Structure 1
Amino acid sequence: MTMQQTPLLMHRLMDRGAMLQPDVEVQTATETGVRSQTMLETRNRAHQLAHALNDAGVQIGDRVATFMWNGARHLEAYHAVACMGAVVHTLNIRLAPVDLEYIINHAEDKVIIVDADILPLLEKLAGKMPSVEKIIVAAEPGFENWSTSLPNAIDYEEFIQDKPKKYDWPEIDENSAMGLCYTSGTTGKPKGVMYTHRANYLHTISIAMTDVMGLSATDTLLGIVPMFHANAWGLPWVATMLGMKQVYPHRFMVPDHLARLIMDCDVTISAGVPTIWQGIKGLMESKPDQYKFKALGRLTCGGSAPPPSLIEWFWNELGVEMVQGWGMTETSPLATISRRTSKRKHLAMSDAERAANQAKAGLPIPGLEIEIFDDQWNPLPHDGKAFGELLIRGPWICSEYFNNPQPDKFHDGWLVTGDVAKIDPEGYIIITDRSKDLIKSGGEWISSVDLENHIVGLAGVAQACVVAHPHPKWDERPVALVIKKPGADLTAEQVVSHCESKFARWQLPDDVLFVESIPLTATGKMDKKVVRAQLEADGYQLPDQR
């Protein structure tokens, strides 16, 4: 053995930025403007939070949940919880109460840190979170006078007040857990993906590479991707490691506010789902003289594939490169990347050819292996024509779910992604379908089967089929086809109202169509491919497009 066996622990990265660039700002949008603190202050506050959590009984391996928007305090929680050896469990604030209750209890969260303005969402779970011992409330300007019915609640600033600004991070096994994120991207209960220090360390280093996101200490990040969703694509970790200036929009996620932040804070890079960038595009087309992005150089787009026309617009009109990434909660999450120029031969391509390449899911990030297989687990050719089940493996890829065995999701050391894809001769991944008929709306998964199972529980429903239908803003929206029982008096409004008892508003069907029959496959299953094709052939339009 010739090299030191230093454990790959996140504290070795997270304290670095403040040491090298202590005066760089971390900014959070508020009701009254932008609240700023330096990188050094952020680092010191993270150490204070670690002391406060430790004094409150949080030990190595304990789960500390965050129920927060993107902001400086959420970044402090990332830093403190992970580096002290506990597990930062990010709770998706968009989930329905029934899913949040399950996730909190399945993870056995010990503490929850919550933003004051969304306290009412958490209060719906009062008395249903037996493992939670303390609620820490983070209040931005305008919400300082919060109150709550939840027990053992304390203000964030009071919680960390007078705590030491230096915490001695423990030296633990690099395979210890440091993060937990639940995915509801398949049927049944949400499943937890537990991130280790080693996995997140390697993922953080990798996405900073020039051919991936090309991040540097001179960049300014506008962090739009939710920090409660798959590590915000890893960007808070790498930005803190490098000492980048960071800007977080908190709850102000509308296009005009985001555009103002990009302009006023000299943002050089941002990341979000296609609906975000479609909104920015529409805003700038309607108000061409109001917003000038003098520093912005690239955007990372993920969650679903951006249309080539959107990629071309940002390049042609703004000179901004749209970098497409593909991944899953289970892949930490970034797995592939597609850039304007990913290979030397691309230098001679036209803008249209480059945009077409950028619209593909992309090339595997160094360190990962991606392959497509047929239904007998035989590898398929990379000819851009053959398509099969997409599998992936590597040092930051999930190998099992947290306390929830799912053997069908793993095969011989590979993660079975649930996507159907092609791989072209250049190595680009091209996603063609989703094997589980999931619906991806605004970058979030909706389970068609969960909706179907709930709808058929409504009196008067004989059968239900939920499929995705294209939407220009949200990418896809759910449409429910329902067969009534003989003599049943049922309306579309009743079906949607029934769904509201279990699902969040953004998961509800956009339309309910009453039909006489639903196409079936040879094995008696609903043939959703035929349903989707029939809707398209009939010229069907969603209600807001009619």
Structure 2
Amino acid sequence: MALHGLMQSTQLTVSTLLGPMERSFSAKGVTTAQATGPKRTTYAEVAERTRRLVTALGALGLQPGDRVATFGWNSQRHLELYLAVPSAEMVLHTVNHRLFPAQIDYILDHAADVMVVVDASLLEVVWPMVSRSRHIRHVVVMPDDPTVTIPDDERVLDYEQLVSGHQPADGSLFVGDERTAAGLCYTSGTTGNPKGVLYDHRSIVLHALMLLGADNLAISEADVVMPVVPMFHANAWGLPYACVMTGADLAMPGNQTDPALLAEQLERERVTLAAGVATIWRSVLPHLDGRDLSGLRRLMNGGGPLPPSLSAAYERACGLPLTSSWGMTEMSPVGAVSRISTKDRTASEEERRDVLTSPGVKPPLVQMRLRDALGGDVPWDGRSPGSLEVAGPTVAAGYYLNDDHDAITDDGWLRTGDIATLDPHGYLRIVDRAKDLVKSGGEWISSSALENEIMSHPAVLEAAVIGIPDERWEERPLACIVTTEGESLTSEDVRAFLLGRVAKWWIPTDYAFLDELPTTATGKISKLSLREAMAARPKEMTPKT
């Protein structure tokens, strides 16, 4: 019989974060950008308001296990909800307001949310879906825009009145089981209805701890962290919880998400670490000239491949390269973070750039493996691609109220849907999404690798590669390109540029020059929309000049 240790059985819960906020980190805090100027709130104030909110949730008749939906920007109030709802043993259900109305209808109904908390600036967008929900009993409005007309509905309450009208919950907020559900986030999949990932307290706390690791994000009390990635998507990559845990200050963009305003906030708040998707970083780049960004130590990209050209552009603009990461909603979401290791210390600048724009290395608690088509192991040699599967305490074991078992293997690993390689040092490289590989003449072409090479052209702003039917080769790559403003480009220019950069048979013969690329609700390029648009296009498209 195994011998048990004699350690305390303290549960890993979100509620345990409030004590340090009130004591060790009481003077630290969060700054939210507003149209009238930045609003600064200490963590001591946030903790007290969180306790008041816990009391208010109970006074409204909500019970443990009830789902509370939020439609909110990155703000102090949303942070209070991140803390209060799980601490009241309820489930925080962050909803992406950029989804299609039918998807939001489905999500609210499937989650059976009994309460919705929404920023006033988003009311016009989400009210039609909220008002027709059959489960919602309360709609709480966060007053981030005083010009918005509030609907005359008996279910509607004011957030600030709700918080100020209740006494703070006393002492330790007790969540007895760390496996209690704490958060719910639906994937924005490209096929079928969105699927819910149900996080527990334990997974949230462990994920936050991983982000503090020196080989991951190394978040510490000295940091000022700016999550540009939204709190309504994939937990803002866990950054709010990690900052509260370690006492790092938070710089929240609020509803001030114009690229020029984001660049201004980076400078004004002396941000040390910021995270967002490539679409955002491209839009912010032109607004960095002349700004003092010397406080920055890391700029992180996620949500899709990072072109080396964009990383290099940031290094020229602010002396710091944009670096990469990889993850999934199902992974809480961080699954890998790029870094320079001991083996790379003597690498050339180009080789180091290649490392920093790759997904990187997994955090300590995440496990990875590669499988071939027959389910066998693929070696970690950095060359052999396989289907990537992951496991660990921050990885989903299934989907909420969903019988789709295809994503989970018989032994409990999550199938990511990515084709990847792993090298002997643990470095992950995503070859492509399985559904985005182009199979030409029986050989695979990586759309991701081809896109990165095309975006290295100085006249290219964005590029996406999709497969189109071909009578001879089965499929051929089609390059969809957006040029930088004021630049002109032809298909012959791109072909000539790619010679010597990729295998000759990879080079597309078909090109579409577009004004913009369609994106998903989370800011990623929507290849599904591109495929539909390109299938309906005229046979020949005139290049934009």
Q: TM-score, normalised by structure 2?
A: 0.81
Q: Which residue of 2 aligns with 1:152?
A: 155
SS in 1 for 2:23: helix
- Give, in angstroms, the shift of residue 136 of structure 1: 0.3
1:21-36 map, 5 Å: 21-36=25-40
Query: Is the counterpart of residue 536 in structure 1 residue 508 in structure 2?
Result: yes
Aligned counterpart, 1:424: 423
Equivalent of 1:380 in 354, 357, 378: 378
1:537 CA displacement = 1.4
1:126-151 Cα shifts (integer Å, max 9, x gaps): 542111000000012534x6311554
Partner of 1:436: 435
How far off its partner does 1:540 sit? 2.9
Q: Distance in 1 between matches of 2:145 and 2:104?
A: 27
Per-residue CA deviation, residues 234-287 of structure 1 (Å, 9 max, x unaligned), is 000011111211111112222210111011111111100112222222223xxx
8 Å Cα contact 2:223-2:272 kept in structure 1 = yes
1:201 deviates by: 1.0
Matches within 5 A, 1:47-66: 47-66=51-70
Map Cα deviations across residues 509-540 of structure 1 (whole Å, 9 max, x no partner). xxxxxxxxx44899xxxx66656699931233
Q: 1:64 to 1:406 in 2, by over 3 A?
A: same
Question: Pairwise mapping of residues 329-348 of structure 1 onto structure 2 (< 5 A)?
Answer: 329-339=329-339, 341=340, 343-348=341-346
Name the SS of the counterpart of 1:429 in structure 2.
strand
Alignment partner, residue 44 of structure 1 = 48
Secondary structure in 2 matching 1:33: coil
**Conserved 8 A contact 1:28-1:249:** yes
Partner Cα distance (1:103, 1:429) in 2: 33
Residue identity matched to 2:72: M
How far, CA to CA, are the matches of 2:76 and 2:51 in structure 1? 14
| Alpha-carbon spacing, 1:476–1:45, altered in 2? closer, same or farther (3 Å) | farther
Deviation at 1:416, TM superposition (A): 0.2
Count of residue pairs brought into register by the alignment: 471
Identity %: 34
Cα distance in 2 for partners of 1:79, 1:521 equals: 58
- What is residue 443 of structure 1 aligned with on the other side? none
Alpha-carbon distance in 2 for matches of 1:235, 1:198:
16
- Return the letter of the residue paired with 1:256: A
For residue 125 of structure 2, what is the aligned residue in structure 1?
Answer: 121
CA displacement at 1:366 relative to structure 2: 0.5
Q: What is the alpha-carbon distance in structure 2 between the residues aligned to residue 300 and residue 200 of structure 1?
A: 20
Counterpart for residue 201 of structure 2: 197
CA distance in structure 1 between the aligned counterparts of 2:244 and 2:437, rounded to whole angstroms:
34
Residue 140 of structure 1 corresponds to which residue in structure 2? 144
Q: Which segment is superposed worse, 310-319 or 397-406?
A: 310-319
Q: Which residue is 2:413 aligned to?
A: 414
Higher mean C-alpha deviation, range 146-155 or range 237-246? 146-155
Say which SS state the counterpart of residue 379 (structure 1) adopts.
Answer: coil
**Is the alpha carbon distance of 1:404 and 1:520 closer, same or farther for their aligned partners in structure 2, counting shifts above 3 Å?**
farther
Residues 1:327 and 2:330 aligned together:
no
1:397 corresponds to which residue?
Answer: 395
Q: 1:105 to 1:399 in 2, by over 3 A?
A: same
Kindly report which structure 2 residues correspond to 1:162-241, keeping only aligned pairs within 5 A, or say none: 162-167=165-170, 168-241=172-245
Question: Please, what is the CA RMSD of the aligned residues?
Answer: 2.6
Cα deviation 1:49-77 (Å, max 9, x = unaligned): 11101111111111011001111100000
Give unpaired runs (5+ residues) of structure 1: 440-466, 482-517
Distance 1:275 1:84 in 2: 36
SS class of match (1:409):
coil
**CA distance change for structure 1 residues 476 and 124 in 2, over 3 Å: closer, same or farther?**
farther
Could you tell me how far apart the structure 1 residues matched to 2:284 and 2:349 are?
Answer: 21
Distance 1:386 1:150 in 2: 59
SS in 1 for 2:418: strand
Aligned pairs for 1:240-319 within 5 A: 240-284=244-288, 288-289=289-290, 291-319=291-319
Deviation of 1:48 (Å): 0.7
CA contact (8 A) 1:99 1:190 kept: yes
CA displacement at 1:25 relative to structure 2: 3.0
Residue by residue, what CA displacement relative to the aligned partner does 1:327-351 show, whole Å, maximum 9, x if unpaired?
0000000011102x2x222222232
Q: What runs of 5+ residues in structure 2 fail to find an aligned partner?
A: 439-450, 480-504, 517-542
Gap change, CA 1:274 and 1:19, over 3 Å in 2: same
The corresponding residue for 2:496 is none
Relative to 1, partners in 2 of residues 1:534 and 1:354: Cα closer, same or farther, differing over 3 Å?
closer
- In structure 2, the CA distance between the partners of 1:350 and 1:14, relative to structure 1 (3 Å rule), is farther
CA contact (8 A) 1:174 1:198 kept: yes
Q: Residues 535 and 60 from structure 1, CA distance in 2 versus in 1: closer, same or farther, beyond 3 angstroms?
A: farther
Indicate if the aligned counterparts of 1:221 and 1:246 stay in contact, CA closer than 8 A.
yes
Matches of 1:324 and 1:233, distance apart in 2: 13
Match of 2:539 in 1: none
- Shift in Å, 1:373: 0.6
2:87 corresponds to which of 70, 83, 94: 83
Once residues 15 and 274 of structure 1 are traced to their aligned partners in structure 2, the CA distance between those partners, rounded to angstroms, is 36
1-side partners of 2:506 and 2:111: how far apart? 42
Contact between 1:24 and 1:38, CA under 8 Å: does it hold in 2?
yes
User: What's the offset of the Cα at 1:125?
Assistant: 1.7
TM-score, structure 1 as length reference: 0.81
Indicate conservation of the 8 Å contact 2:195/2:399, yes or no: yes
Q: Distance in 2 between matches of 1:307 and 1:377?
A: 32
Partner secondary structure for residue 511 of structure 2: coil
